[in-house]
Structure 1
């Protein structure tokens, strides 16, 4: 093989003749070195340390993609579950609010309260300065904003209902303690309060109460709430029940066939306290009713007529 070398000016040229061994050596260098480098690179890429980096194993890539898809699906399902839970919570709060509004309107009407003060049809007034800086702008997510709004409305309704309940409870207690009405129903008065002719002596005598003609065994009820101060046998009153109501008021129910309460019992308005009879100084079954105010006997008629409580 002959190699010709020309200088840059193309003015001179030299030729070099290569022998057989020289040509063989150059062929080995030109062809063998790239082949050796290629074989070494291939073995390095396919080694265990680098197989995962360069995707030498196709199944590894598939597993990686499958795991990523599975994670995305799990996140999607978790998000949908949270949205479903929030939606259910909002529906529950709305149902509670509707029930509270209905109950509030019913209580307001029953208690005859001012509807302007307890208006359950309007949104409660809320306000106040923000704790953040004036320039700060924040918008709550839709679900959280809706839940917060419903929670505030429910809290407001519950506060109003608690106030109404307290007012009604106090009113009920006051009404229970008011002495009013008759101790027996559907009956007639046979003897009034004041001076009369005594049925046993025929002489003029003071009658301290009112008598109601009833059948024996008729239920006798308390005209107001109170505490039983006396329940037993009296030589003239017969079986007697005396109830202390507070505010200096005391009522007596006499000539009973039997008493249904005992000393110390707390009785409610309208509660049965005795069965009518003709015990003690009595001519026939009837109920003798007396009212005392601050230790002095008063005419029960004014309390019997007091029905607008």
Structure 2
């Protein structure tokens, strides 16, 4: 290969062989390569690499920390779910006991089974209204449903308890039974021959004869309104039972209660004697309704239906 060189000054040309210029090209190539190497060596380590070791370590530590946090969150979530399962089991056990208690009370109280049916879910309803279209997790729905059932059962039991309480009060204040634990009826209610004068006279109560000192009991719960001597009655106990009912127990040997005392059905209130206008140990028993005497016989054999 030959190279032609043209001179501007004289306008002449010369032919130069490529072998003569080869050392020049080699020199230029060596200079360029040297400059490139020196430039590379002059760069800082940060400029030589895109990601250094320090940044890599920081990222590794951050990933490790996030992994540990994730593990902690997973453990905490599992613990919470287990706690919810335990709580759910407790609520189900409570509901089972409430249902059993409710059914037992309904049976004991002889109530209509349709009124308090603890085997059926609570009846609910109401007009549809707009709301958020949201489907809660299964366990949340179960807990809400269970809480609703427990609230319904507690409401039924409160009503039932109130009903039974009213029935108990009615049963306690229900005038019924004999005023003595031992003895026999010696005189009935109405007209009879007076034991002192022999004339026909009205008798406001019934008499129960027995052994001196026999217990006299209250035929119903109430409040003592008289406890002491009274003309014709001797030692007298009078009890107000409410609803217009008052009972009297006369000719007592000893009075065991005081005015204002609250007595229960079958409580001993006095001992049988013969005080006042009496021919022997007995108790004169009266029943008054709204201030008027009534025949005690129908209350003596009265049967409560509650």
Which residue, out of 28, 37, 41, partners 1:31?
37
Deviation digits for residues 242-283 of structure 1 (CA, Å, limit 9, x no counterpart): 122334332100122322322223333333322323333333
Equivalent of 1:127 in 113, 117, 125: 125
Aligned to 2:9: none
- Residue of structure 2 in register with 1:243 after alignment: 239
In the TM superposition, what are the counterparts of 1:109-258 in structure 2 within 5 Å?
109-132=107-130, 137-258=133-254
> Alpha carbons of 1:195 and 1:168: their partners in 2 closer, same or farther (altered >3 Å)?
same
What is the CA deviation profile of residues 114-153 of structure 1, one whole-angstrom value per residue up to 9, with x for unaligned ones? 11121111112223344335xx643221111101111111
- Structure 1 position 31, deviation (Å): 2.0
The equivalent of 2:70 in structure 1 is 72
Deviation per residue, 1:13-66 (Å, 9 max, x gap): 8636449997774453132112222646359965xxxx542x1x4xx5554344
Cα–Cα, structure 1 residues 40 and 244, in superposed 2: closer, same or farther, change >3 Å? closer
**Residue number in structure 2 paired with 1:289:** 285
Are the structure 2 counterparts of residues 21 and 274 from structure 1 closer, same or farther at C-alpha, using a change threshold of 3 Å?
Answer: same
Q: Which has the larger radius of gyration?
A: 2
Question: Structure 1 unaligned runs (5+)?
Answer: 6-11
45 and 151 in structure 1: CA distance in 2 versus 1, 3 angstrom threshold: closer
In structure 2, what is the Cα distance between the partners aligned to 1:102 and 1:95?
A: 11
Counterpart CA distance in 1 for 2:237 and 2:178 is 15
For residues 45-98 of structure 1, the C-alpha deviation after alignment (integer angstroms, 9 at most, x for no partner) is 65xxxx542x1x4xx555434422321221112111211121122111111111
Q: State the Cα distance separating 1:220 from its structure 2 match.
A: 2.0
Deviation at residue 289 of structure 1 after TM alignment: 0.5
Q: Distance in 2 between matches of 1:295 and 1:271?
A: 24
SS in 1 for 2:43: helix
Aligned alpha-carbon RMSD (Å): 3.1
* TM-score normalised according to structure 1 size: 0.80
Question: CA shift at 1:178, angstroms?
Answer: 2.7
Return the TM-score normalized by structure 2. 0.81
Distance (whole Å) between structure 2 residues aligned to residue 260 and residue 13 of structure 1: 155
Change beyond 3 A, Cα 1:218–1:78: farther
> For 1:165 and 1:37, how far apart are their aligned partners in 2?
92
Q: Which moved more, 1:280-289 or 1:192-201?
A: 192-201
Deviation at 1:103, TM superposition (A): 1.4
The answer to whether the 8 A contact 2:183-2:211 is kept is no
Q: Which whole-Å CA distance do the structure 2 matches of 1:271 and 1:172 have between them? A: 16
Separation of aligned partners in 2, 1:159 and 1:74: 42
CA contact (8 A) 2:247 2:285 kept: yes
